[in-house]
Amino acid sequence: MDVLWGFKHFGKSYFTGLYRYNRKNVTMMQIGGTYLSNKWMYDELDQYRIKYYRYKDDDTITKDTKIERLSSDDLLHHDTDKGIVNQGFVEEDYLAYGKNSRDNWLRSKKIRPDCSLKPHLSKLESRELYPIYSDHGSVWEDHFFNDLCDCDLFVPRPHPQLMSYKPFIEHFKTCRNIITYKSDVVDMCIARINLFESKETNKYMNTTINDVEDAYNTDKELVFSHLDFFVTKNRNVEQLLIDLDIPYEHIDLDTHDYKILCDNPVSRRHGEQLEYTPRKTERHEFARHMVEEYIKTRGLTDLRLSGRLHDKI
C-alpha cells in the first residue's frame, strides 16, 4: 500500500486522480480526518464508490456503496467524487478575478450558498455524524485494517488518534510512504496565494481587508503568514514521520516520472486550481511579486523539512 502524507495543498487531487485513472483502489479520510472516509474500488469497468460514516445515534459504522459503469476516460468527464475532475473553485479566486470563486461555482451548479459542500453528505445533513476516528485506535482497529487499508493508495489525515496507536504506526512502517513537494517554489506559492481567504483573515486578525492584494498593501505579514501556514503544517507532518521512525520518500510533483506510481499518466497539473487560471494577467504578475518578496524575506529555498536549515519558517 502507498500512503500519501501531507496536511493541506500537497498534491492530493493529482495522486488520487492518477491512481483512480489507472483503476487502482484509493481510500481517503475526509472532513478533518475524523468523521468520514471515502473509498473507490475497481473491477474491470465497474467503479465502487464507498463511504464509511457513523451517526451519533447509531453504534455501528455505515458502509454506503454506489456502483457505476465508468471507463478510465469516463472519469475524466465527471466531477469528483464520481469522476476525477477537480471541482475547480476556491473561496475568492483572486488570480482569475473571482471567476472560479466559491459563490460563482455554487451559482453555476445551482446550489444554495448555505448548502454544505462536504462530500456525499447531502442526505446525511439531517442527522449528526459521530467522529469515528476521534476514538482511541483500538476502537476502530478492525475498520482501519479491513476497510481503509484494503487499497493501493491511502490518504490519511495525521490526527493524534491515528498517529499514536502502535498497530497503525507499525503498519505504516511496512508501506511505501510518500511526501510530495514542488521544486518550483514560486509556482507552488502563487497557487497558495489564490487560497487566501479575506473573511477568515478579518475574523482572526481583526482586519477589514478585501482580498489578498489589499492584505499585502495593508500589512505584508498577513500574506506571508498565510504562506507560512502551508509550509509549516506540511513540514510538521514530515517531522512526525521521522519522530515515529516511519520511512518515507520524496516525490517532486514537477519532475517525477509517473511510471514509478502507475502505468498511464494524467496531466502533471491535474487537480491544480491554476489549471483553470490564466497566467498572463496583472494579478498573476502581482501574485508573483508578492511571492518573490516572500521567498526572499523568509529565505525559502526548499518546501521540504530540510529547508528549515536555511529559511525562517
Residue where the block lists cell 468520514: 36
- Calculate the alpha carbon distances from 300 to 177, 185, 186 in Å: 25, 8, 10
Tens of pLDDT along the chain (313 residues) come to: 999 999 998 999 999 999 999 999 999 998 777 899 999 999 999 999 999 999 999 999 999 999 999 999 999 999 889 999 986 688 999 998 888 888 887 787 767 665 544 444 555 556 889 999 999 999 999 999 999 999 999 999 999 999 999 999 999 999 999 999 999 999 999 999 999 999 999 999 999 999 999 999 999 999 999 999 999 999 999 999 999 999 999 999 999 999 999 999 999 888 776 666 778 899 999 999 999 999 999 999 999 999 999 998 9
- Least Cα distance to 154 among 303, 37, 300, 291 occurs for 37
- Least Cα distance to 312 among 206, 202, 235 occurs for 235
Residue type, 7: F
Q: What pLDDT does 28 receive?
A: 97
- Least Cα distance to 41 among 27, 53, 29, 31 occurs for 27
| Alpha-carbon torsion, ordered 209, 212, 214, 217, to 10 deg | 120
Which are the contacts of 79, defined by CB distance < 8 A and separation ≥ 6?
A: 85, 86, 87
Report the C-alpha gap between 131 and 95 in whole angstroms: 36
Q: What pLDDT does 120 receive?
A: 47
**Predicted structure pTM score:** 0.93
- Contact predicate 106/112, CB 8 Å: yes
Report the C-alpha gap between 110 and 176 in whole angstroms: 41
- Contact predicate 5/242, CB 8 Å: no
Q: What pLDDT does 31 receive?
A: 76
Q: Which cell numbers hold the place of 25? A: 483502489
Q: What pLDDT does 102 receive?
A: 85
Q: What pLDDT does 119 receive?
A: 44
Long-range contacts of 268-271 (CB under 8 A, 24+ apart): 268/14, 269/14, 270/13, 270/14, 270/17, 270/18, 270/84, 270/86, 271/11, 271/12, 271/13, 271/14, 271/16, 271/17, 271/86
Q: What pLDDT does 286 receive?
A: 97
Q: What pLDDT does 113 receive?
A: 60
- Contact predicate 194/22, CB 8 Å: no
Report the C-alpha gap between 248 and 240 in whole angstroms: 11
Q: Which cell numbers hold the place of 6? A: 501531507
